């Protein structure tokens, strides 16, 4: 049975990427060696990380002055590393609280400077993105979470900000074209749209660095990674390799514009079904619905069917659909690598289920 | 041609591990999914990380009170994270400077407290381990590097220390039995004896934690990893999996006692050849020679043959033998997974070369 994986992350990657990655583990490019045992300073891996970096630059259409770095520790490490590098004691950074991860970013930042939370949708269980938020002129940066994996909301338009935007793009990185110019720092744990877990991509405007007075350990200073091209110490070779393969796939398909078109089409199919189906209801405000994570629950009166539908999905090869405990119900994560057929299969199953139960 | 990989790290792992790892990338245990796309909170990965943790505890024969953690960022991150967690401002830690990595650990620690360098072999290009070092009673911990990958020296006996030992065991982790009781913290980047790059194993005595006054970001606090069993955020799934497979292999072969016997045999074969062969000479003091990394150069008068021998090795499938620029010549890294046949092939090639050139 063909399976479709709707997990929120680690998440689906292109089947061709899995195949190629597996080959490299046994015998990398007929070298007689596994990629896992190769020196990170050898020509093989150097070519991989250089290509991965170049592809991010190309696919994100990076302006001059931005660097692409490969780190570890996930977005959770960026929650403190960003303020540690950018926000001096006594300075203020602005945050918008759009969900669990934004909240953690706020918590970690507070140790490094003043944190001004401009808006929060917490009271409404983060079911929307706060609008009309006024961004003070004198803040060091504005922190946003572009897509909220848990609550299924997404910025479809970023607010105009007088300060550089620092953005957690973990769950919608490279899912659409983004004008990078307003951003000072973009970070993304790979394990949603880019690769397996174990690597974090960071895009940073170099001129913002080196302005805080605190001590930065070498491994927590973005400048170390810039200077050594992410090779100050041994990088996570395999996660970087798989990310590079995914980036190649993305470029071959046509880049972020094509991805956006595909993602709109896929999400449209699913949200249309959610809206038309009497058994289900979406949890996020329509205008903020994420193209990456569609959250929905059983409609009023049908709550008792939740387990049955989840089991039906599993039995039909549609896996990873259980919603996060913060929202309940279902969450369909439909990242770049999810084929349209997967979303169609889910929508059809919802339709069939409604016919049977309605 | 059968290849033997003598790279210092990322390094050789058992062939059976590569094979099994590749299988899991295409279809993990006939689940129809790749391990790379599976939720880290699902039953599959939970079982993997629990087994890996249990195997480290068993193979290291850990006493009660020690925790096994899976982190990222390599030993380079532990260089600052250990003092950040253990050494309060104003307190003193003792370090022994036995090579490049010890030196980096010293540099990073200085930002957190007083660092007393008890001894250094730097003047002799780190060709030996300083002996008879007096360890002050009032230091918070003693930091050692058990094996110096670059210079090919190794502690064959750890000094008695009144303070807990913090030890970088990256390059000889699980290569021999170690009595853990004198250690407060052991860390090892996986990419030598344990797995691929991208994961760091940390063994810590829990009662030493929580005693510093500084702020610790969640991701830099060992207690976060203890509390959440290394799952506070998404761990590096695949590197942990490959490490678990290697641990299984190690246990099946008989554990650290068997490894020590094998490693002594392999290193003995190679050092015997180095000592008997007129063309080559070892660089490390005999009593401190590493069982993991054998460093040797061309003997006086034969320096011009270096490139020729290196090319001969490559042509015979013996790769990764070029010495680090700090020592020059050759370095044969013969970790747990290097079969005796690999070392024999190298020794024979050295012998043949001497016959041809002698």
Contact A196 B237 (CB under 8 A): yes
Please report the residues numbered 155 through 194 in chain A whose beta carbons come closer than 8 angstroms to any beta carbon of chain B. 189, 191
Nearest by CB to A234, from B32, B80, B189: name it. B189
Does B358 score more than 80 pLDDT? no
- Same-domain check for residues A196 and A67: yes
Instruction: Count helices and strands (H / E) in chain A.
Output: 9, 14
Bond into A128 cis (ω within 30): no
Contacts of A232 in chain B (CB under 8 A): 76
Which one, of B117, B125, B175, lies nearest residue B143 by Cα?
B117
Residue B1 has a pLDDT of 79
Helices B15-26 and B237-253 meet at what angle, rounded to 10? 140
Number of C-beta neighbours around residue B283 at 10 A: 22
Instruction: Give the residue numbers spanning the domain of B37.
Output: 16-253
- Same-domain check for residues A232 and A311: no
Q: Is A192 designated active site?
A: yes
Q: Is A101 designated active site?
A: yes
Does B340 score more than 90 pLDDT? yes
Closest chain B C-alpha to A208 CA, distance in angstroms: 22
Arithmetic mean of pLDDT, B144-153: 98
Cα–Cα distance measured from residue A193 to residue A2, given in angstroms and rounded to the nearest whole number: 21
Residue A2 has a pLDDT of 86
Residue B351 has a pLDDT of 98
Mean pLDDT, chain B, integer:
97
Does B186 score more than 80 pLDDT? yes
pLDDT, one tens digit per residue, over A207-218 is 999 999 999 999
- Same-domain check for residues B109 and B210: yes
Check CB contact of B11 with chain A, cutoff 8 Å: yes
Please report the residues numbered 305 through 324 in chain B whose beta carbons come closer than 8 angstroms to any beta carbon of chain A. 317, 319-320
Does A358 score more than 90 pLDDT? no
- Same-domain check for residues A190 and A332: no
Contacts of A19 in chain B (CB under 8 A): 26
Under the banding of pLDDT at 50, 70 and 90, the label for residue B304 is very high
Contacts of A319 in chain B (CB under 8 A): 33
Does A192 score more than 90 pLDDT? yes
Cα–Cα distance measured from residue A41 to residue A284, given in angstroms and rounded to the nearest whole number: 47
Does A81 score more than 80 pLDDT? yes
- Same-domain check for residues B181 and B222: yes
> β-pairing, B92-97 with B142-145?
parallel
Taking CA–CA distances from B9, the nearest residue in chain A reads A39
Does A219 score more than 80 pLDDT? yes
Residue B9 lies in a domain: no
Residue A314 lies in a domain: yes
Under the banding of pLDDT at 50, 70 and 90, the label for residue A174 is very high
CATH number at B44 reads 3.40.640.10
> From the candidates B70, B97, B140, B168, which is the catalytic residue?
B168
Does B261 score more than 90 pLDDT? yes
CATH number at B347 reads 3.90.1150.10
- Same-domain check for residues A246 and A263: no
Q: Quick one: DSSP state of residue B92?
A: E
Task: Report the C-alpha dihedral over residues B54, B56, B61, B66, rounded to 10 degrees.
Answer: -80
Residue A238 has a pLDDT of 98
> β-pairing, B183-189 with B165-168?
parallel
- Same-domain check for residues B249 and B310: no
Contact A76 B219 (CB under 8 A): yes
Residue A7 lies in a domain: no
Arithmetic mean of pLDDT, A263-281: 98
Arithmetic mean of pLDDT, B266-295: 98
Which one, of B33, B3, B29, lies nearest residue B15 by Cα?
B3
- Same-domain check for residues A235 and A273: no
Does A153 score more than 90 pLDDT? yes
Does B314 score more than 90 pLDDT? yes
Contact A111 B215 (CB under 8 A): yes
Domain tally, chain A: 2
Among B195, B228, B253, the domain boundary falls at B253
Q: What is the C-alpha R_g of chain B?
A: 21
Does A91 score more than 80 pLDDT? yes
Nearest by CB to A39, from B76, B104, B320: name it. B320
Cα–Cα distance measured from residue B248 to residue B234, given in angstroms and rounded to the nearest whole number: 23
Nearest by CB to A22, from B8, B25, B220: name it. B25
Check CB contact of B298 with chain A, cutoff 8 Å: no
Cα–Cα distance measured from residue B350 to residue B256, given in angstroms and rounded to the nearest whole number: 29
Residue B43 lies in a domain: yes
Residue A1 lies in a domain: no
Contact A3 B33 (CB under 8 A): yes
Residue A248 has a pLDDT of 98
Arithmetic mean of pLDDT, B206-229: 98
Phi-psi region of B163 (alpha: psi -120 to 50; beta: other; left: phi over 0): beta
Residue A1 has a pLDDT of 79
Residue B266 lies in a domain: yes
- Same-domain check for residues B213 and B341: no
Q: Is B168 designated active site?
A: yes
Bond into B347 cis (ω within 30): no
Residue A110 has a pLDDT of 98
Contact A3 B234 (CB under 8 A): no
- Same-domain check for residues B173 and B267: no
Bond into A10 cis (ω within 30): yes
Phi-psi region of A255 (alpha: psi -120 to 50; beta: other; left: phi over 0): left
- Same-domain check for residues A247 and A304: no
Residue B298 has a pLDDT of 98
Q: Quick one: DSSP state of residue B31?
A: S
Closest chain B C-alpha to A160 CA, distance in angstroms: 30
Residue A4 lies in a domain: no
DSSP alpha helix (H) spans, B60-212: 74-86, 100-109
Which one, of B349, B266, B342, B240, lies nearest residue B12 by Cα?
B342
Closest chain A C-alpha to B196 CA, distance in angstroms: 5
| Single pTM value for the model | 0.98
Check CB contact of A231 with chain B, cutoff 8 Å: no
Residue A261 has a pLDDT of 98
Residues 6+ apart with CB under 8 A from A299: A278, A279, A280, A281
Which one, of B274, B271, B284, lies nearest residue B124 by Cα?
B284
Contacts of A8 in chain B (CB under 8 A): 39
Does B199 score more than 90 pLDDT? yes
For residue B194, what are its two tokens? Answer: 């344990």
Contact B10 A242 (CB under 8 A): no
Cα–Cα distance measured from residue A307 to residue B9, given in angstroms and rounded to the nearest whole number: 48
Does A116 score more than 80 pLDDT? yes
pLDDT, one tens digit per residue, over B19-30 is 999 999 999 999
Does B201 score more than 90 pLDDT? yes
Residue B5 lies in a domain: no
For residue B346, what are its two tokens? Answer: 């190298």
Q: What is the DSSP code string of A180-211?
A: -TTEEEEEEETTTTTSSSS-EEEEEEGGGSS-
Residue B2 has a pLDDT of 86
Closest chain A C-alpha to B77 CA, distance in angstroms: 6
Could you tell me how far CA B60 lies from the centroid of its own chain?
14
Helix/strand/coil percentages in chain A, nearest 5:
40, 20, 40
Which one, of B167, B235, B250, lies nearest residue B199 by Cα?
B235
- Same-domain check for residues A261 and A247: no
Residue B6 has a pLDDT of 98
**Maximal CA-CA distance, chain B:** 65
Arithmetic mean of pLDDT, B36-64: 97
Nearest by CB to B26, from A19, A80, A217: name it. A19
**Maximal CA-CA distance, chain A:** 65
Among B210, B233, B253, the domain boundary falls at B253
Contacts of A80 in chain B (CB under 8 A): 217-220
Contacts of B237 in chain A (CB under 8 A): 10, 191, 196-198
Among A253, A281, A299, the domain boundary falls at A253
């Amino acid at each position: 049975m063909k399976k479709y994986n709707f997990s929120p992350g680690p998440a689906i990657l292109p089947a061709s990427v899995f195949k190629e990655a597996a080959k490299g583990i046994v015998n990398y490019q007929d070298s007689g060696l596994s990629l896992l045992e190769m020196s990170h300073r050898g020509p093989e891996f150097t070519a991989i990380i250089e290509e991965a970096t170049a592809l991010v630059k190309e696919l994100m259409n990076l302006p001059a002055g931005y660097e692409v770095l490969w780190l570890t520790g996930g977005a959770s490490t960026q929650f403190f590393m960003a303020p540690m590098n950018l926000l001096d004691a006594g300075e203020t950074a602005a945050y918008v609280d759009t969900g669990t991860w934004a909240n953690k970013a706020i918590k970690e930042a507070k140790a490094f400077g003043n944190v001004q939370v401009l808006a929060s949708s917490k009271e409404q269980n983060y079911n929307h993105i706060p609008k009309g938020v006024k961004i003070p002129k004198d803040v060091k940066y504005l922190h946003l979470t572009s897509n909220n994996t848990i609550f299924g909301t997404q910025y479809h338009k970023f607010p105009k900000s007088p300060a550089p935007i620092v953005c957690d793009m973990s769950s919608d990185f490279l899912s659409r074209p983004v004008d990078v110019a307003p951003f000072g720092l973009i970070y993304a744990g790979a394990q949603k749209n880019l690769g397996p877990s174990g690597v974090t991509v960071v895009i940073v405007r170099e001129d913002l660095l080196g302005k805080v007075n605190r001590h930065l350990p070498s491994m927590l200073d973005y400048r170390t990674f810039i200077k050594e091209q992410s090779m100050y110490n041994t990088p996570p070779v395999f996660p970087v390799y798989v990310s590079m393969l995914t980036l190649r796939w993305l470029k071959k398909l046509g880049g972020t514009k094509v991805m956006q078109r595909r993602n709109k089409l896929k999400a449209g199919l699913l949200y249309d079904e959610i809206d038309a189906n009497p058994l289900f209801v979406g949890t996020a405000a329509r205008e903020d619905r994420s193209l990456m994570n569609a959250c929905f629950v059983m409609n009023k009166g049908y709550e008792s069917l939740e387990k049955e539908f989840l089991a039906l999905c599993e039995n039909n090869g549609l896996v990873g659909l259980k919603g996060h405990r913060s929202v309940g119900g279902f969450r369909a994560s439909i990242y770049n690598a999810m084929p349209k057929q997967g979303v169609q299969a889910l929508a059809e199953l919802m339709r069939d289920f409604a016919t049977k139960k309605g």
